[in-house]
C-alpha cells in the first residue's frame, strides 16, 4: 500500500529543509518599485471609494434629515480654511488618483 499523508508531508519538509531554500517568495525579498507602489495605492483608493460611497449611501437612507440640514451643521462649526482644504483634498485625492491611474492602466 502507499504512504500516508503524514509520511509524505514529513518527506516533503525534510527535503525542503535540506535544500535550505525559501519555499516561496516573500514580500521582504522584493525591491519596492514605482509600479508596485502605484498598484497598491490604486487598490487602496478603490477600497476607500467603495467604502465611502457605501457609507454615504447608507447614511442617506437611514438619517432622518435631508442633506442641506447636515451641510448647515458643518458650516455652523466654523472650521478653519486649513482644515476645510485638508478635508477637500482627502475627498478628492482618492477619486482623482484612482480615475487617472485606471486610465493610465488602460492606455
Q: Where is the binding site for heme, in residues?
A: 98
Residue 45 neighbours by CB distance under 10 Å: 19
Gap between the Cα atoms of 105 and 94, Å rounded: 16
Cell of 50: 467603495
Which residues are annotated as part of the binding site?
Answer: 98
- Determine phi and psi for 64, rounding to 5 degrees: -75, -30
| Cα distance between residue 88 and residue 50, in whole Å | 18
Amino acid at each position: 500500500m502507499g504512504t500516508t499523508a503524514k509520511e509524505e508531508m514529513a518527506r516533503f519538509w525534510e527535503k525542503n529543509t535540506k535544500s535550505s531554500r525559501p519555499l516561496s517568495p516573500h514580500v521582504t525579498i522584493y525591491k519596492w518599485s514605482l509600479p508596485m507602489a502605484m498598484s497598491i495605492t490604486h487598490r487602496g483608493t478603490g477600497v476607500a471609494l467603495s467604502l465611502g460611497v457605501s457609507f454615504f449611501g447608507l447614511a442617506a437612507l437611514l438619517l432622518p434629515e435631508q442633506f442641506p440640514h447636515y451641510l448647515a451643521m458643518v458650516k455652523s462649526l466654523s472650521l478653519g480654511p486649513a482644515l476645510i482644504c485638508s478635508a477637500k483634498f482627502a475627498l478628492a485625492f482618492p477619486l482623482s488618483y484612482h480615475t487617472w491611474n485606471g486610465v493610465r492602466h488602460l492606455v
